[in-house]
Structure 1
Amino acid sequence: MIGLLVNNKEMKEIEYLLKREMEELLLDLDNSRIDGLIKRAMEERYEILLGIYKRTATKAEVLKYMRILKKGTN
């Protein structure tokens, strides 16, 4: 495990970057033109980013970014 010291302004910037990237991934995951293998890699990346975001955000903020899988998809 690696520790990281950041000030409040830096933490807000990190949160902004995480949210922005997760939003982009969510949009791309809904794109039917993207291949399944690539989508799987994107889903793995999304889970990693969400895990990082969970360490700093409130539960209410995290719920906004929780993925709801549609029936029939993995």
Structure 2
Amino acid sequence: MLGLIIHEKEKLEIQYLLKREMDEILHDLKDSRIDHIVKRAMKERYKILFSLFTRVAPHSECVNYIIPTKIKN
């Protein structure tokens, strides 16, 4: 286990970066031209990013980034 001490401004920057990356992945998951195997890798990456996001963001923000059921399958 690792610990990390950051300022509020740094925490907000981390939240912003994670949100941006997750938004991009969610957008790409809707693209029918992307192969299923690539989408599976994108979903795995999203899970990791979401896990990090839950550690720095309030619950109300995290709820907005739960993967919609349309994209899960």
Given the two structures, how large is their TM-score scaled by the length of structure 2? Answer: 0.90
Unaligned runs of 5+ in 1: none
2:16 alignment partner AA:
Y
Higher helix share: 2
2:28 match: 28
What is the alpha-carbon distance in structure 2 between the residues aligned to residue 11 and residue 61 of structure 1? 13
If asked which structure has higher relative contact order (CA below 8 Å, sep 6+), I would say: 2
What is the alpha-carbon distance in structure 2 between the residues aligned to residue 58 and residue 11 of structure 1? 11
Query: 1:70 offset after TM fit, Å?
Result: 2.2
2:7 alignment partner AA:
N
Given the two structures, how large is their TM-score scaled by the length of structure 1? Answer: 0.89
The ranges of structure 1 where at least 4 consecutive aligned residues each deviate by more than 6 angstroms after the TM superposition are none
Q: How many percent of aligned residue pairs carry the same amino acid?
A: 51
Q: Which deviates the most, 22-31 or 51-60? A: 51-60
Q: Work out the number of aligned pairs and report it.
A: 73
1:3 match: 3
Matching of residues 1-74 of structure 1 within 5 Å? 1-70=1-70, 74=73
2:31 alignment partner AA:
N
Aligned-CA RMSD value: 1.5
Q: Which deviates the most, 14-23 or 1-10? A: 1-10
